[in-house]
Amino acid sequence: MKVYNTLSRQKEEFVPLEDGKVKMYVCGPTVYNLIHIGNARPMIVFDTVRRYMEYKGYEVNFVSNFTDVDDKIIKKAMEEGVSTQEISNRYIAECKKDMAAMNVEPATTHPLATEEIDGMLEMISTLIDKGYAYPAGDGTVYFRTRKFKEYGKLSHKNLDDLQAGHRKIKVTGEEKEDSLDFVLWKPKKEGEPYWESPWCQGRPGWHIECSVMSKKYLGEEIDIHAGGEDLIFPHHENEIAQSEACNGKIFARYWLHNGFLNIDNKKMSKSLGNFFTVREISEKYDLQVLRFFMLSAHYRSPLNFSEELMEAAKNGLDRIRNGAENLKHLWKNAKSPQMTEEEKELWEKSKEFVVKFETAMDDDFNTADGISAVFELVKYANTKADGDSSKEFLDCLYQRLVKLCGILGILAEGKEEILDEEIERLIEERQAARKEKNFARADEIRGMLLAQGIILEDTREGVKWKRA
């Protein structure tokens, strides 16, 4: 299996640190709002990488964090007059609903930054003791970027070029020694959450959080660190500097980054009015369509999102599902139980599509070519299976199709449609739960219905619902 390593800028044979095991860290979202489709791409991509690793027989320890203390979370909490914890807990719960609807498996561990402060204080203290960090007069702790000789090795940026870009920044005696030094710990502002530290009452810088959570749950050296390409610099570059300066070991062997997502060939932004949350997409499409769309291009390629391309993805997914439904229908009506000799030959020949699929995925997780192999298998099944086929032959073809789709996280079958009476019953149960202030159960029911493609709207006239 070959993977493209951002560090070396080339494809390399994947060799894990420990035989049969993979340690993988993926930077998760900052939880201050519903996740958008840009957040969804790395979730889907690296969930698929994990699934394929597991298919290959690896035991994958998959860690993906939630950043639950951040300027945006604090701003939202102040606007609503609630605690930052209330904001982060709310949007972690909403994020998990959207992940489930996209068939993204929960991580082995989903650490929260606020629960790992002790580890951050310890790592910062070690960096100060080793001379890689220093406290400034106001209690801010900075990392000495130039002291880490390999700084820039991931982003392939030159420190002097970076320095030229920072010339306009005023550096005072009380502040940074060098304009390129970055924050490890910063003092609190009025009304902000804070933790006690040897330097000041404050909170951690963003970069230190991932270094500490990766070390705690995966160890000082890991196999794969992944995320969006927007994180290469400065976030991942700074993680390498902190971790390697502290631990004296190579932090991550392979760095994987997915490409940007554009909307109608433009960068996604609220100001352009082309900003879509995953929840908004779920009102129009089954989120399996979004997943299929994301995997229809190579993960490192820039990806353009548009209604036309989503419709094409929906049609593609329908082709696969119709193929699966056809095999199930034929199986139910099949007369002969055992494969004939001719069917055994046909079954053997169908292995070539598995080989094509594996060849694509072994080449830096080329899901686009993997999907092509699935389409070929569907076409083969449609032409070779008919009313005279045996149950065994039909079942084997069906299970092969389901298995390949499962590696991609694609459900080969559509969800059974939930009946109107069942929806009404669940809405009544949700209303009762809300009256009893059992908001956890009420949210759980909303999430269950959302996963079935049912959108609830609370109005003055009561709860209205519609199918996505």
Write out the two tokens for 368.
Answer: 């686009």
Are 246 and 319 part of one and the same domain?
no
Number of domains, the chain: 3
Domain assignment of residue 364, yes or no: yes
Are 342 and 463 part of one and the same domain?
no
CATH code of residue 352: 1.10.730.10
Are 132 and 191 part of one and the same domain?
yes
Domain assignment of residue 269, yes or no: no
The answer to whether 364 touches 257, Cβ cutoff 8 Å, is no
Domain assignment of residue 263, yes or no: no
Are 15 and 131 part of one and the same domain?
yes
DSSP state of 7: T
Are 213 and 283 part of one and the same domain?
no
Digit-coded pLDDT (tens) for 107-124:
999 999 999 999 999 999
| Summary mean pLDDT of the chain | 92
Are 187 and 315 part of one and the same domain?
no
Domain assignment of residue 222, yes or no: yes
Instruction: Give residue 177's pLDDT.
Output: 94
Are 79 and 131 part of one and the same domain?
yes
Are 244 and 318 part of one and the same domain?
no
Are 445 and 351 part of one and the same domain?
no
Write out the two tokens for 248.
Answer: 């004296």
Domain assignment of residue 318, yes or no: yes
Number of other CB atoms surrounding residue 462 within 10 Å: 9
What is the C-alpha to C-alpha distance for residues 275 and 272, in angstroms, rounded to an integer?
Answer: 8
Digit-coded pLDDT (tens) for 387-436:
999 999 999 999 999 999 999 999 877 665 667 788 888 888 888 888 88
Number of other CB atoms surrounding residue 432 within 10 Å: 12
- Its domain, for residue 57, covers 2-258
Question: What is the H or E stretch that residue 185 is in?
Answer: strand 182-187
Are 126 and 249 part of one and the same domain?
yes
Number of other CB atoms surrounding residue 426 within 10 Å: 19
Domain assignment of residue 414, yes or no: no
CATH code of residue 192: 3.40.50.620
Write out the two tokens for 465.
Answer: 């619902």
Which segments of the chain have a pLDDT < 50? 167-173
Domain assignment of residue 266, yes or no: no
DSSP state of 104: P
Are 253 and 297 part of one and the same domain?
no
Domain assignment of residue 415, yes or no: no
Are 319 and 437 part of one and the same domain?
no
